[in-house]
Amino acid sequence: MKASIITIGDEILIGQIVDTNAASISRRLNAAGITVAERTSVGDDREQIIRTLERELAQSEAVILTGGLGPTKDDITKKTLAEIFGSRMVRDEAVADHVRTMLEKRGIAFNELNQGQAMVPECCTVLFNRHGTAPGMWFERDGRVVVSLPGVPFEMEHLMEDEVMPRLRERFSLRQIVHRTMITSGLAESMLAERIAAWEEALPEYLHLAYLPSPTVVRLRLSAYEVDGESVGREIEERFERLKEIIPQYILGFETATLQSAVHDLLISRGETLAVAESCTGGAIASRFTAMAGASAYFLCGVVSYSNEAKRDVLGVPAELIERHGAVSEQVARSMAEGVRRISGADYGVATTGIAGPTGGTAEKPVGTVWIAVASESGTAAVMKQSGTDRGQIIDRASGYAISLLRDTIGR
Please, what is the minimum distance in Å from the beta carbon of residue 5 to its own copies? 9
CA pseudo-torsion sign 181, 187, 189, 191: negative
Is residue 24 part of the contact set for its own copies (CB under 8 A)? yes
Please, what is the minimum distance in Å from the beta carbon of residue 252 to its own copies? 16
Subset of 116-175 contacting its own copies (CB under 8 A): 152, 154
Please, what is the minimum distance in Å from the beta carbon of residue 375 to its own copies? 17
End-to-end CA distance of the chain: 49
CA pseudo-torsion sign 392, 398, 403, 407: positive
Please, what is the minimum distance in Å from the beta carbon of residue 299 to its own copies? 5
123 and 139 Cβ atoms separated by less than 8 Å? yes
Is residue 359 part of the contact set for its own copies (CB under 8 A)? yes
Strand ranges for 15-99 from DSSP E: 35-42, 62-66, 89-91
Interacting stretch for its own copies, rule CB under 8 A, among 66-74, 136-144, 231-239, 403-411? Answer: 66-74
Interacting stretch for its own copies, rule CB under 8 A, among 85-93, 243-251, 279-287, 402-410? Answer: 279-287
Residue 212, strand partner residues: 219
Report the residue from 213, 366, 379, 411 that binds its own copies according to the rule CB under 8 A.
213
Is residue 335 part of the contact set for its own copies (CB under 8 A)? no
Residue 376, strand partner residues: 379
Interacting stretch for its own copies, rule CB under 8 A, among 90-98, 120-128, 302-310, 328-336? Answer: 302-310
Is residue 342 part of the contact set for its own copies (CB under 8 A)? no
397 and 385 Cβ atoms separated by less than 8 Å? yes
Give the integer Cα–Cα distance in Å for 168 and 32: 9
Report the residue from 122, 128, 130, 210 that binds its own copies according to the rule CB under 8 A.
210
The C-alpha angle with vertex 119 and arms to 118 and 121, in degrees rounded to 5, equals: 135
Please, what is the minimum distance in Å from the beta carbon of residue 4 to its own copies? 10
Report the residue from 285, 328, 382, 405 that binds its own copies according to the rule CB under 8 A.
285
Report the residue from 32, 41, 165, 174 that binds its own copies according to the rule CB under 8 A.
41
Q: Is 40 exposed, middle or buried (0-12, 13-18, 19+ CB in 10 A)?
A: middle
Here's the x/- map for its own copies, 216-235, by CB under 8 A: it reads as: ---x-x-x------------
How far CA 83 is from CA of 80, 122, 142, 194, 224, in Å, comes to 5, 11, 17, 56, 39
15 and 159 Cβ atoms separated by less than 8 Å? no
Distance of CA 83 to the CA centre of its chain: 36
Is residue 94 part of the contact set for its own copies (CB under 8 A)? no
Report the residue from 101, 125, 296, 362 that binds its own copies according to the rule CB under 8 A.
296
Report the residue from 188, 246, 268, 319 that binds its own copies according to the rule CB under 8 A.
188
